[in-house]
Amino acid sequence: MSVVELRGVGKRYESGAEIIDALKGVDFSAERGEMVTITGPSGSGKSTMLNLIGLLDEPTEGTVSLRGRNVTDFGEDERTEERRSALGFVFQDFHLLPMLTAVENVELPSMWDTSVDRHDRAVDLLRRVGLGDRLTHTPDELSGGQKQRVAIARSLVNEPEVLLADEPTGNLDQDTGGTILDEITRLKNEEDLAVIAITHDEQLVEYADRVVRLVDGVTRT
């Protein structure tokens, strides 16, 4: 069963008199254990698609399913709970909080939740991405590649089933990007994740099990 599924999904933006169809009738699905990259030129609707899969945005038509449940009409609080339990995010700009240490950044998603203690999981994840000796460093003491590893560890701390990555290698050089992608691939297998990444980067495409091309809001495989 697909862990993520889009059926006939469209997204229309209205700004003033202008109407933009960012996505038109997109069908898409992803299984656990596979890495799918979504590529396409700027403005093709990649980010919109990732936001819809990530429950950050709502489609104007079609249905979005996560773990076999139709989540299209979920309210903001329900979608937050889904993001918290099932989804992990990695961003191009890392988006680490500057005043927190590496391990605190990883614990961030559950920091307010007193019912669980993710500290051991956070330390374990940082060790697994090779930052066992950087636990108490703050982001400005880490290199770009190290920051992205922290961000990856953060995305996995709540044991999600889907990892969503928005240009994860976009701010890294070729070599660092390669090791990050190795890391993601390894974790994908260890944690049985569905990885969905959007990118311009040809290198990332090489790591993908499957590539989806988006042009003008329509998928082409």
Partner 1 sequence: MAWRNLGRNRLRTALAALGIVIGVVAICSLGMATVALEQQATAQLGDLTNEVTVSSGADSDTDGVTGEQVEEMRAIVTDARVIPQKTNATTLEARNGMEARMSVTGVTDASALYDLTEGEAPERLQSGALISNATADRLGLESGDPVEYDGRIYRIRGFIESEHSFGFGGGDLVIPVSGLADQRHYDTVTIIAADGDAAGRIGDRLDTRFNTEEDEELRVTTFGNRAQVGGFLDTLSLALLGIGGISLVVASVAILNVMLMSTVERRGEIGVLRAVGIRRGEVLRMILTEATLLGALGGLVGALVSLATGMVLFHVITGDATGALGWASSRYLAYGFGFAVAASVLSGVYPAWKAANESPVEALRG
Residue placing its CB nearer to partner 1 in the complex, 95 or 119:
95
In the complex, what is the shortest distance from the CB of residue 77 to partner 1, in angstroms, rounded to a whole number?
A: 7
Angle between helices 119-128 and 144-156 (to 10 degrees): 140
Choice between 145 and 160, CB closer to partner 1: 160
Residues that bind partner 1 in the complex, under the rule CB under 8 A? 51, 54, 56-57, 76-77, 80-81, 83-85, 87-89, 91, 95, 97-100, 108-109, 111-112, 154-155, 158
Of 45 and 54, the one with the shorter C-beta distance to partner 1 is 54
Distance of closest approach, residue 175 Cβ to partner 1, in angstroms: 26
Rounded Cα gap, residues 162 and 87, in angstroms? 5
| Nearest CB to partner 1, comparing residues 157 and 207 | 157
In the complex, minimum distance from the CB of residue 74 to partner 1, in angstroms, rounded to a whole number: 13
91: three-class secondary structure by DSSP: coil
Minimum distance from CB of 50 to partner 1 (Å)?
10
3-state secondary structure 146-194: HHHHHHHHHHHCCCCCEEEEECCCCCCCHHHHHHHHHHHHHHHHHHCCE
> For 100, which DSSP code?
S
